[in-house]
Amino acid sequence: MVLECRVVKHVKIGTHTQFIGEILNVKIDESMLDTQGKPDLEKLQVIGFDVFPICVLYNRTGRRTGI
């Protein structure tokens, strides 16, 4: 999945910069869609990165646990 974005603004937060954007276009392989045509997070296995508060964490989406 690819999100084409445009930076709307950036905000200085201490020694870091937060970028805020607007999604302009989304591209996704059809094999990554569910039966309703929406992105299937279980198939995509999205990885997130977090460095807050004091440790570096990588998280991956997984099996749905409820609706």
Query: Is residue 46 one of the residues assigned to a domain?
Result: yes
Asked if residue 66 is part of any domain, the answer here is no
Q: Model confidence over 43-66: pLDDT tens digits?
A: 888 888 877 767 788 888 777 676
- Asked if the structure places residue 18 within a domain, the reply is yes
Query: Do the domain assignments include residue 67?
Result: no
**Stretch 11-37: mean pLDDT:** 94
Taking CB atoms within 8 Å and a gap of at least 24, the contacts of 14-18 are none
Asked if residue 28 belongs to a domain, the reply is: yes
Q: What's the pTM value of the predicted model, to 2 decimals?
A: 0.59
Q: Which residue has the higher pLDDT, 52 or 29?
A: 29
Q: How many domains does the chain have?
A: 1
Categorize the per-residue pLDDT at 8 as very low, low, confident or very high, splitting at 50, 70 and 90: very high
Which domain, by its residues, includes 19? 2-60
